[in-house]
Structure 1
Amino acid sequence: MTDFLFAIYPWVKSLHIMAVISWMAGLFYLPRLFVYHVEKAQAVEGAQQIFFEMEEKLMRVIMRPAMIVAWVCGLIMVFTPGIVGWDWSWPWVKGAAVIGMTWFHHWLMDRRKDLAEGRNKLTGRQYRMMNEVPTILMVVIVLAVVLKF
């Protein structure tokens, strides 16, 4: 099994990077869609439905599959012997930040549901502020992995 994991490691790592890029694109874009949805959609006939469809497809077609692939590939890399030393701090820092990123993903899912059901309580400004969460987590993850602190 170890030989197999070593053989596929470059492919898994490549797929992981591509999935993370796709997931992050969605995590950056969806809160911005929410801003425009909250601030502008009521002013244009039919815009609400267009926003609902855009948000739903972004979650279902891009973000959810990308998150799943990122997690699966990440776990495969974690279980590849010699890749991660659990006595180092960086895997723990990255892991905590990835869990935070996953929490944010699910928070966005809940906000999309609130918007679709007419229960939104957040303003465009609040969505703008939440749009910074994935940026902060991304910085922590990249620094942890590259600098291996």
Structure 2
Amino acid sequence: MIGFLGAAYPWVKAAHLIFVIFWMAGLFMLPRYLVYHQEAEQGSPEAERWIDREHKLRSIILTPSLVIVWVLGLVLAANLGLFSGAPGLGWLHAKIALVLLLSGYHGWAAAYSKKLAKGERRLSGRQLRLLNEVPGVAAALIVILVIVQPF
């Protein structure tokens, strides 16, 4: 379905996918950074480097990508008729729910990064390593929903 985007549809979809890749790359990197940061001695030069790396990742890649993914994704959803009640978009509702959860994960990881910068270490390395898997599982489910469109 091309909808109101007309010939721009494939370009908007391509841009959306490009920024999804950037966002996911950041979501794969930041939790790993958190593990290394937490293992560094507080106040050490190594810990200070992790603080700087995490800040750059959040401000240069993660947050801008998140915003662009949402803007383009909502435009694509509107183009498909999500807001006008088009039938057969159950898969899109599920995808948006997963993207909302992934956005919440993004917020949690960014906040934990800032807490680590202040010296707060509330999770174990094992817990952080387990949380590292969230973006991969979410990405797999989202890809299945988009490609297979099971409902």
Give TM-score scaled by structure 1 length: 0.90
Task: Specify the alignment match of 2:28 in structure 1.
Answer: 28
Q: 1:90 to 1:3 in 2, by over 3 A?
A: closer
Unaligned runs of 5+ in 1: none
Report the CA distance shift for 1:136/1:86 in structure 2 as closer, same or farther (over 3 A). farther
**Which residue matches 2:132?**
131
Identify the residue that residue 119 of structure 1 maps to in structure 2: 120
Q: 1:65 to 1:119 in 2, by over 3 A?
A: same
State the number of aligned residues. Answer: 147
- Kindly provide the CA deviation profile for residues 83-107 of structure 1, in whole angstroms up to 9, marking residues without a partner as x: 8944432011101100011000000
1:66 maps to what in 2?
65
Q: Is the 8 A contact 2:3 2:80 kept in 1?
A: no
Moved over 2 A (4+): 81-88
Judge conservation of contact 2:42–2:119 (CA < 8 Å) in 1. Answer: no
Superposition pairs of residues 65-144 of structure 1, within 5 angstroms: 65-81=64-80, 85-144=86-145
Q: Deviations over 1:31-61 (max 9, x none)?
A: 101111112x218941111000000100010
Task: For 2:92, give the aligned amino acid.
Answer: P
What root-mean-square deviation, in Å, do the aligned CA atoms of Structure 1 and Structure 2 show? 2.1
| Aligned match of 2:53 | 54
CA distance in structure 2 between the aligned counterparts of 1:123 and 1:86, rounded to whole angstroms: 45
Report the Cα distance in structure 1 between the residues aligned to 2:91 and 2:112, rounded to whole angstroms: 31
Contact 2:23/2:65, CA 8 A, preserved across alignment? yes
C-alpha separation in 2, matches of 1:73 and 1:106: 19
Amino-acid identity (%): 39
How far apart are the structure 2 equivalents of 1:136 and 1:65? 22
After TM superposition, the structure 1 stretch with the greater mean CA deviation from structure 2, 41-50 or 100-109, is 41-50
Q: What is the SS of the residue equivalent to 2:5? A: helix
Provide Cα deviations, 1:89-137, integer angstroms capped at 9, x if missing partner: 2011101100011000000111011101111211211111001111111
**In 1, distance between residues paired with 2:17 and 2:76?**
12
Match of 1:42 in 2: 41
- Secondary structure at 1:121's aligned position in 2? coil
